[in-house]
Amino acid sequence: MRALIVEDDPDLNRQLVDTLTHTGYAVDSAMDGEEGHFLGDTEPYDVVVLDLGLPKMDGVSVLERWREDGRLFPVLILTARDRWSEKVAGFDAGADDYLTKPFHPEELLARLRALTRRAAGHASSTLDCGTLSVDTRGSRVFVDDKLIKLTSHEFRIISYMVHHQDRVISRSELVEHIYDQDFDRDSNTIEVFVGRLRKKIGPERIETVRGLGYRLIDPQEEGTA
């Protein structure tokens, strides 16, 4: 999944980027509200971590403008002060969750997983498509209860697809959600990753919809239909 970090403290910003990248996210970051607003307004993110106390444009204003412009990605706000008025202002602006600094990285990751699941209409940290299971908490994939070894980009693709299963996903959409902003994006590599995934999880699980993209399916359910 693709995440945006908007945090003006350079050490915390770097720590958050490293933590999310290590967990498998494609991560972009900004150090002030203006840059953060621009990125959120022009790039498709699955989740955003937004500090409220930002230079140039405060976090509440950033969030209000995103929501006014129809940006619906889930947003977790950060605040250094445990004040109920800030939390209320953040929620009124359109926040989905919050954390008060300092916090444990594990709690942040758990909250982000919950936000992305809820945004896609899922409740459990384990997402299933037939006998394919994706453990979003442990970044693991199982087929018929057997652990499948995947690269980070392969996991990003299957994770995105299982969050949006039974929907056709174009190559350009996959490119936008598995690469960060600075990565040299090439949609042709998606075909390579999908080909590798088919060899590892079974070719019948990823359907090619000609001219449109790919769809993750349960082959047993499709066969019955």
Exposure of 177 in the CB half-sphere (CA atoms within 13 A): 22
Residue entry with tokens 């992305």: 116
Query: At 136, is the secondary structure helix, strand, or coil?
Result: coil
What is the longest distance spanned by two Cα atoms in the chain?
A: 57
pLDDT of residue 34: 97
pLDDT at 225 over 60: no
183: confidence class by pLDDT, cuts 50, 70, 90: low
Q: Tokens in use for 56?
A: 């140039």
- Which helix (H) or strand (E) element contains residue 143? strand 140-143
Query: At 38, is the secondary structure helix, strand, or coil?
Result: helix
pLDDT at 188 over 90: no
Taking residues 133-142, what's their average pLDDT?
Answer: 89
Residues in Cβ contact with 154 at an 8 Å cutoff, skipping those fewer than 6 apart = 193, 196, 197, 200
Spacing of C-alpha 189 from chain mean position: 20
What is d(CA 98, CA 28) in angstroms, rounded to the nearest whole number?
Answer: 20
223: confidence class by pLDDT, cuts 50, 70, 90: low
Higher-scoring residue by pLDDT: 148, 118 = 148
125: confidence class by pLDDT, cuts 50, 70, 90: confident
pLDDT of residue 166: 76
Look at the alpha carbons of 182, 188, 190, 196 in this order and tell me if their dihedral is positive or negative: negative
What is d(CA 133, CA 141) in angstroms, rounded to the nearest whole number?
Answer: 6
Q: Which structural domains are found in the chain, ordered by start?
A: 2-119 (3.40.50.2300), 126-224 (1.10.10.10)
**pTM score > 0.85 for this model?**
no
